Structure 1
């Protein structure tokens, strides 16, 4: 691996290039368009004490608006400084207006859900309806309020929220750019390994050959179909591709942290099965929750699993418990590997690089999440409802740029160096052939048990000095 031929200056340069590329994407995102656009539709109560059904028509829409939310904020009379928390029945009927002006029923029945109005100094925002994809150029929503008879209500402010079409075009272009870059990096990485048998690959190289194709799915080559097909399927596939890649990345951290110090063959039952089980639970919880919400929203635009489903609390607790188990298991593997491999320079270098780069990525991700949500990142509020949607271009590019450049950096470091030797050249020299064996075979002597570990390290050191002098 190129990792063995890099000096300290080279490692510093690798991290500098990573930060420069990531900072450039954040800067471009800051200059980019805002993701969510809003349009207000105020309704005057005219001092009426009984709320009549309210009909609201949206602005003309296109597929580049992607999704549509209708929210409501109740404004109380400023003269009444009281806290209110009451439940009421809200009814919603959604009609779609086609280009020729005809109106058709999207949902053949009037939907009703119980909503809670919480007011202190200011009332909390209520989600009236949400449409995951747009079939029509315009929508009319009729909202009714039952059992909400409060004399202190002064105004009800309704707001449409959609994606900005400019941001949608921005997203398509940058996803395409990352897709092309990932394809190039994947081809270069595969080309660099073509001379070596898969038996000679290190565990990091084997995982990179899996993660890079999954990164292609993460960048979603099918994303433009969302604007060409009026269907929920492209959006669900996008969520599925992202969850598969992120869970594969979590599995990569576990396998490499454990596999670096494992002696001999890594058995499926004892090595891979516990890791697949933990990460599989996380993937299953996220995918089930996403499919559950999508299917229910197709039948009911008022559906919100955070508000309407009591099982969501159990799902969140289950997800948090499994996440804590994953973190503790990963920390255990890293600490144990550091304690066992601190006297093995080459293996220790592999562990240090992966831990350092991953730690940097995790810190940046936590900072982005904190800036995005603040201290309310785990609360069930409206901001959490839009947690998978971006508020501006900087958030989109920071997340995508961070993960893409993280994989690109590892692909560079874990690819074979220019002076790497392969079996067909050295098959007659058993001493130097150790340089070509997989890192685990060299260290633990699975193929050359008669040669001590110290000799193998000495040969690697001589090869490193020779390559640097060249």
Structure 2
């Protein structure tokens, strides 16, 4: 692996290039378009005690708007110091307007849900309806209120959709990452073509799996969501993301454990516990996504708060399994560090992966904190995890982070130029322990200037020693 031939300054250069590429994506994202566009429709209720059904018509839409939300902000005719929390019944009927102007019923019945209105100095915004994909160029929503005994002064309805400029911007950058990933995958596969698969390190085997999955994570089918009026492209995008992220979690477990297990890695004792833990995480995330999508297809008023008991149970299950995963990963890393600290080559592999992964995790936590801490659309937990960003910088930084992380690993784990002479020596931890100058070989300047014939001499010397034994 190229990892063995890198000196300290080379490692520093690798991290600098990684941060420069990531910083460039953040800068481009800051200059990018806004994610959500809004259009307001205000209605004066004239202090009517009985609220009549209100019909609201959206602006003309295109598939580049992706999704549609209708929100409501209530203003009460009272003192700002008064706090009120009450529940009421809201009814919604959604009609779609086609291009020829005819109106078609999207849902053949009026949907009703109980909503909670909490007001202090200002009332909280209510999600009236949410459409996960757009079949029509325009929508009409009829909203009714029942059992509302409050002095309502104003109701401000707001349409929220994805900005078409952001949608086009997203398509182009996903395509850029898709092309870059394809090139990196081909180069990595080409570099390993001269070696038998049994000679590959565990990191190289996993990279041959993760890079194709990264292609799916960048979603080559994403443009279909603007060409096909169906929920299927969005569901595939969520599925590809969950598969790649869970494969990445499995990669960290297997490599942290597999570096110190040089013998045969049995499926029952080595892989099965890891697949079980990560499989539970994948199953929980996919179940939440399918559950949310199916319910929203039948009811535009559906929110996870309506089915709080089941949702909270699934959320607690997900968190418990995530804690088990983190503890297991920490145990494997600590044990590997204690066992491999006297094996320079193997220890170097563990230190590099741990350091780069730690940097990526810290940046990911910061991005997630910024996303959840900001005032984004609070319609459901699942959609927040997979699709909603406050600005273009959050979207591009998250995609760029994972892509550049895999590109860096592919570069470091690819065979070096003179790997034909080094593979049987350097990848063998037993031989590396016999060398008195391993640290000099890795970090010394003499090794960097070593000509090819010196590598042949070392190989010949190793063979002579083996025959004399």
* TM-score after normalising by structure 2: 0.89
Contact 1:55/1:141, CA 8 A, preserved across alignment: yes
Counterpart in the other structure of 1:103: 103
Q: 1:179 Cα shift?
A: 0.2
Counterpart in the other structure of 1:420: 419
Q: 1:428 Cα shift?
A: 18
With over 3 angstroms needed to count, the CA separation of the structure-2 counterparts of 1:448 and 1:154, relative to structure 1, is closer
For 1:309 and 1:141, the matched residues in 2 are separated by 26
Number of equivalences: 469
Q: How does 1:12-411 map to 2 (within 5 A)?
A: 12-79=12-79, 81-151=81-151, 153-374=152-373, 385=384, 388-411=387-410
Contact 2:376/2:390, CA 8 A, preserved across alignment: no
Q: 1:266 Cα shift?
A: 0.3
Aligned to 2:447, what secondary structure does the other structure show?
Answer: coil
Structure 2 residue runs without a partner (length 5+) = none
With over 3 angstroms needed to count, the CA separation of the structure-2 counterparts of 1:466 and 1:411, relative to structure 1, is farther
Aligned to 1:143, what secondary structure does the other structure show?
Answer: strand
Q: Deviations over 1:297-348 (max 9, x none)?
A: 1110001123434200111110000000000000000000000000000000
* TM-score after normalising by structure 1: 0.89
With over 3 angstroms needed to count, the CA separation of the structure-2 counterparts of 1:247 and 1:454, relative to structure 1, is farther
Contact 1:85/1:116, CA 8 A, preserved across alignment: yes
Q: 1:192 Cα shift?
A: 0.1
Q: 1:457 Cα shift?
A: 16
Structure 1 residue runs without a partner (length 5+) = none
Q: 1:50 Cα shift?
A: 1.1
Contact 1:5/1:464, CA 8 A, preserved across alignment: no
With over 3 angstroms needed to count, the CA separation of the structure-2 counterparts of 1:430 and 1:347, relative to structure 1, is closer
Contact 1:434/1:442, CA 8 A, preserved across alignment: no
Aligned to 1:380, what secondary structure does the other structure show?
Answer: coil
Over the residues paired in the alignment, what is the CA RMSD in angstroms?
A: 6.4
For 1:18 and 1:447, the matched residues in 2 are separated by 27
Q: Deviations over 1:271-308 (max 9, x none)?
A: 00000000000000000000011011111000112343
Q: 1:269 Cα shift?
A: 0.3
For 1:145 and 1:385, the matched residues in 2 are separated by 28
For 2:38 and 2:80, the matched residues in 1 are separated by 29
Contact 2:35/2:392, CA 8 A, preserved across alignment: yes
Q: Deviations over 1:76-134 (max 9, x none)?
A: 22435321111111100000011111111000000001111111111111110000000
Q: 1:263 Cα shift?
A: 3.6
With over 3 angstroms needed to count, the CA separation of the structure-2 counterparts of 1:221 and 1:436, relative to structure 1, is farther
Contact 2:340/2:347, CA 8 A, preserved across alignment: yes
Contact 1:67/1:132, CA 8 A, preserved across alignment: yes
With over 3 angstroms needed to count, the CA separation of the structure-2 counterparts of 1:146 and 1:162, relative to structure 1, is same
Contact 1:202/1:438, CA 8 A, preserved across alignment: no
Q: 1:388 Cα shift?
A: 2.9
